[in-house]
Structure 1
Amino acid sequence: MVSGVPLRQILQAKSSQISERMYELNLVRVIKGTAVTLVAMALTSCNSAPKDGAEAQTRPRGAERNQAIAVDVAIAATAPLETVREYTGTTQPVREVAIRAQAEGQLQQLNVDVGDRVKQGQVLAQIDDAILSAQTAEAQAELASRRTEIVQLEAQVSDAKTQVAQNRYQLQQAQSDAARYASLAKSGAVSKQQAEQFRTQANTAAQVLQSAQAKVRAQQQAIIVARSRIAAQQAVVAQQQRRRGYAVVAAPISGAVLTRSTERGNLVQVGNELLRLGDFSQAKVNVQVSELDLAKVRLNGTANIKLDAFPKEQFRGTVTRISPAANPTSRLIPVEITIPNPTGKVGSGLLARATFTQTTLDRVVIPLSALQDDRANTKSPQPNPNSSQRAPTPSTPRTNGTLFVITRQGEQTKVTPRTVTLGQQIDGKVQILSGLNPGERFVSRASRPLKDGQPVRLSILSAK
């Protein structure tokens, strides 16, 4: 303790006095620095004002107008101007065939699997043909029996014809005897009773001949019926042989196996699907085309196809089918495109992107930004309430415009305005129908509005 006051209180009082003194010193220092800065700024502004005024007085009028303006220059070139829509589809084989069983039986062999390449006529599967073989043998035996029957009928006809010949001879003899006895009876050499007996014998011989001829005709008709039965049985034999041939399943086309629906040892019924083949000599792509692009699509026309599986290749296809009916809801028209596939590398189910090309007359195409906006430099006329005509809206397509072409006078590059006729306008580009020829250089963009004869300097982005 010092004079009855604790030492701790004395130290706290001294510390507070020191802190207040340091705060006052820092505040004075900040005020002095701010004052010095304000004085320096005032002196600088005073010194620069007369200089700027002098430069303004000495700068010649029109220097700004003659100063070269930086511009981007492009070279006019012809190009197509059309909106290209891309349609997606999936690749498929040009033909797809389902191989179905045409005979019933156990599947003894199935020689191919999914992905295998097959040739037309190659044996793919074998069905047990034991029952079919027995049925074929039975049909052939029946055919042989009917052929034996017709041989017998033909022999009977031959015998009947021989009998007819004998009966005809007997008739002639009886008629001759009857005529002779009739003549003798008239002369009284023989009795009338004897002449009548010979006439009766001649009539009986005629009836016997007619009966023999009828028998021949009946037997000939039996032969015709027997021959028709033989023809029918021959058809049965041919059908059985064909059914037996169905036991061997061969490839109807060349292609690749897409699916395999059964396995060896299964019992198959008529109509069961065994395999599915795809012909990949060509590939087809089915797309749904908007009615807005229907005018670009024509039968046997060309289409560009890109496959994600082969990003570095582009395929040219042919439009082989255009559906006559559009979807009533989406207004899309199914279109089939066929692309060549000689190596068979284009498989089924690949994502395809199709675009349709149309032969159009290429014209000079420039960006719309290159046109001088004449409407911005002209005052819009005040509408006349008494006039029946309406002022054109800003959305009305322009038919004429002005752009600046590059000219050279001495060592200085200048620009000259050119009036051009405008065509179609799509995606910020416009066709030039007349007024600008291919190869001419024009200003595509300028840093400031241009005037006739304005000196310009080409930017580094300008075309050379």
Structure 2
Amino acid sequence: MKAFWILATIASLSGVTTSCTQTNKDASQAQVQSQKPAIAVDVAIASLELLEEENEYTGTTAPIREVSVRSRLEGRLLDLNVDIGDRVESGQAIAQLDDAVLSATVLQAEAEVAARSSEVSQATAAVGNARAQVARARVQYQQSQANANRFTQLAKEGAVSPQIAENAVTEAKAAEQSLRSAEQQVSLQEQTVSANSQRVLAQEAIKLREQERQSYTTITSPINGIVLERVSEIGNLLFAGNEVVKLGDFSQVKVIVLISELEIGKIRLNQSVDVSFDSFPNQRFTGTVRRISPVADPVARLIPVEVVVSNRDGKLSSGQLARVKFAGKQEPQIIIAETALEIAGRPTPAPKDANANIQGKSKNDPKSSPNTSDKGKPKTGIVFVITGDPKEPKVLARKVTLGDRRDGKVVILSGLKEGDRLVVRSGGKLQDGDPVKLSVLSQ
């Protein structure tokens, strides 16, 4: 019994000694950490941004369309009343050819029309006379036929001789023949009127054609635009098809940029793009992809893409340097500097749960690690978040899931939220719970 109490006392003293030892160890570590000097750090705030890859391409502006104004017939250029840079409207007269010969031709065609119209009038009058003759012949025929019938009846009754009846019948037949002849004359005169009318129409067509040719001597603008070039000069003899001036439509301007075949898949028709001009450094324009060439340069492997920019105020002209940026559609994400991942060193020390679920993986094969992407870039990392009293800040190691990287920045898919303050640069290696001192550059 006495031995039992001795053993119990020894065990109790041993437990107390062990507990005191562990407590003293923790207290010692806490005291050492509290006595560790604060490390100077730069702090940034996690914010929502767009990780856009905006490649800039340069091109030269040109009018949305160019028109060559040409002469439609032969003639000497008498007047050219526009010069380079002049604005013209659709239908405005810009040049005049000699029209003396065509004016005479038009006058002759008009005279021919008048002559043919006179013939129609005469033929129409003849038709009227022929119809009057038909009316008289019909009356004569009706009277002769009545006499023939009457005398034939009287001859049968013996009141008159048969000779008189025969004469009456003969006169009736003659009157009928005269009626038929008068009716044929009407038909002939009507045909004459129709033929003359057709000749009038044909001559009218000739007159209109000559008048139209005469109108070609006045050269007009087919569009609203600006004169780009004077190709001919006053006094030159022009032939049909000779160019007089070049016009440009500047209601819109187009820019041709050459895109690598590796980037062309990111561009689509009707896509909005940002366009800037060195001549307007403080102004941004919005353009639209109107055409993507189906043919690439076989040597440079570059594909022409046409971008159209509205020019309602007329600021833009031809030959200006344009800078075009194609931006893809992305949702804002948490984006931080990649330097924030490098502070913990490589390999990154993780908090207690940072190495969970990685058992059974080879430590020597980065591709087999769940923290590594197929490209060898880490899929997860450790960042240090500012926590604790603002007057005595400390860092807390936090595991984050990484996304795309570009230009020294990385997308955080999980582990951080907007507004978190994290260390992006440090004066020394950090560990979980270390005190820090914020630099003047910190946010």
TM class by shorter chain equals 0.7 to 0.9
Asked if 1:160 corresponds to 2:140, the answer is: no
The 1:324/1:280 distance shift into structure 2, 3 A limit, reads closer
- Residues in 2 aligned to 1:100 and 1:410: alpha-carbon distance in whole angstroms: 80
1:325 maps to which residue?
294
Shift of residue 96, structure 1, vs aligned partner: 2.2
1:339 maps to which residue?
310
Q: Name the SS for the 1:86 alignment partner.
A: strand
**Deviations 1:387-446 (CA, angstroms, capped at 9, x unpaired):** xx9666661565544322211237321122334343333333222334322222112233
Asked if 1:438 corresponds to 2:410, the answer is: no
1:412 maps to which residue?
392
Partners of 1:317 and 1:340 within 8 A in 2: no
The 1:413/1:78 distance shift into structure 2, 3 A limit, reads same
Partners of 2:381 and 2:400 within 8 A in 1: yes
Q: Which moved more, 1:397-406 or 1:86-95?
A: 397-406
Q: Name the SS for the 1:98 alignment partner.
A: strand
- Residues in 2 aligned to 1:318 and 1:459: alpha-carbon distance in whole angstroms: 46
1:102 maps to which residue?
72
**Deviations 1:339-371 (CA, angstroms, capped at 9, x unpaired):** 3241x3422112211113344321221123323
Shift of residue 271, structure 1, vs aligned partner: 1.4
The 1:176/1:395 distance shift into structure 2, 3 A limit, reads same
1:353 maps to which residue?
323
Shift of residue 454, structure 1, vs aligned partner: 2.2
- Residues in 1 aligned to 2:166 and 2:74: alpha-carbon distance in whole angstroms: 77
Shift of residue 99, structure 1, vs aligned partner: 1.7
Asked if 1:239 corresponds to 2:219, the answer is: no
Instruction: Map 1:6-45 onto structure 2 (within 5 A).
Output: none
Shift of residue 64, structure 1, vs aligned partner: 6.8
Shift of residue 234, structure 1, vs aligned partner: 1.6
Q: Name the SS for the 2:195 alignment partner.
A: helix
- Residues in 1 aligned to 2:147 and 2:326: alpha-carbon distance in whole angstroms: 104
TM-score (norm: length of structure 1) = 0.75
Residue from 215, 219, 229 that aligns with 2:189: 219
Asked if 1:128 corresponds to 2:98, the answer is: yes
Shift of residue 150, structure 1, vs aligned partner: 0.9
Shift of residue 157, structure 1, vs aligned partner: 1.0
Instruction: Map 1:145-294 onto structure 2 (within 5 A).
Output: 145-191=115-161, 194-290=164-260, 292-294=263-265
Partners of 1:289 and 1:332 within 8 A in 2: yes
Partners of 2:361 and 2:368 within 8 A in 1: no
- Residues in 2 aligned to 1:290 and 1:376: alpha-carbon distance in whole angstroms: 38
**Deviations 1:216-261 (CA, angstroms, capped at 9, x unpaired):** 2232222222222212212222222222222223333343221111
Residue from 361, 368, 375 that aligns with 1:395: 375
Partners of 2:385 and 2:421 within 8 A in 1: yes
Partners of 2:395 and 2:433 within 8 A in 1: yes
Structure whose alpha-carbon radius of gyration is higher: 1
Asked if 1:425 corresponds to 2:405, the answer is: yes
Asked if 1:88 corresponds to 2:68, the answer is: no
TM-score (norm: length of structure 2) = 0.79
Q: Name the SS for the 1:409 alignment partner.
A: coil
List runs of 5+ in structure 1 lacking aligned partners. Answer: 1-59
The 1:412/1:201 distance shift into structure 2, 3 A limit, reads same
The 1:422/1:193 distance shift into structure 2, 3 A limit, reads farther
The 1:272/1:453 distance shift into structure 2, 3 A limit, reads same
- Residues in 1 aligned to 2:143 and 2:62: alpha-carbon distance in whole angstroms: 89
Q: Name the SS for the 1:93 alignment partner.
A: strand
- Residues in 1 aligned to 2:32 and 2:407: alpha-carbon distance in whole angstroms: 39
Q: Name the SS for the 1:442 alignment partner.
A: strand
Partners of 1:296 and 1:357 within 8 A in 2: no
Partners of 1:326 and 1:334 within 8 A in 2: no
Asked if 1:460 corresponds to 2:440, the answer is: yes
Amino acid across the alignment from 1:71: V
**Deviations 1:53-90 (CA, angstroms, capped at 9, x unpaired):** xxxxxxx8774794423322111111111211222221
| Count of equivalent residues | 398
Identity value in percent: 42
Output the aligned Cα RMSD. Answer: 3.2
- Residues in 2 aligned to 1:403 and 1:384: alpha-carbon distance in whole angstroms: 23
- Residues in 2 aligned to 1:106 and 1:189: alpha-carbon distance in whole angstroms: 94
- Residues in 1 aligned to 2:131 and 2:293: alpha-carbon distance in whole angstroms: 71
The 1:374/1:195 distance shift into structure 2, 3 A limit, reads farther
Shift of residue 193, structure 1, vs aligned partner: 5.3
The 1:384/1:127 distance shift into structure 2, 3 A limit, reads closer
The 1:419/1:298 distance shift into structure 2, 3 A limit, reads farther
Q: Name the SS for the 1:167 alignment partner.
A: helix
1:43 maps to which residue?
none
Shift of residue 323, structure 1, vs aligned partner: 3.8
- Residues in 2 aligned to 1:188 and 1:402: alpha-carbon distance in whole angstroms: 151
The 1:446/1:187 distance shift into structure 2, 3 A limit, reads farther
Shift of residue 294, structure 1, vs aligned partner: 4.7
Q: Name the SS for the 2:410 alignment partner.
A: strand
1:369 maps to which residue?
339
List runs of 5+ in structure 2 lacking aligned partners. Answer: 1-27, 350-354
- Residues in 1 aligned to 2:412 and 2:268: alpha-carbon distance in whole angstroms: 26
Partners of 1:290 and 1:333 within 8 A in 2: no
**Deviations 1:269-288 (CA, angstroms, capped at 9, x unpaired):** 12111111223343222334
Shift of residue 376, structure 1, vs aligned partner: 5.2
Partners of 1:363 and 1:432 within 8 A in 2: yes
Instruction: Map 1:379-394 onto structure 2 (within 5 A).
Output: 381-382=361-362
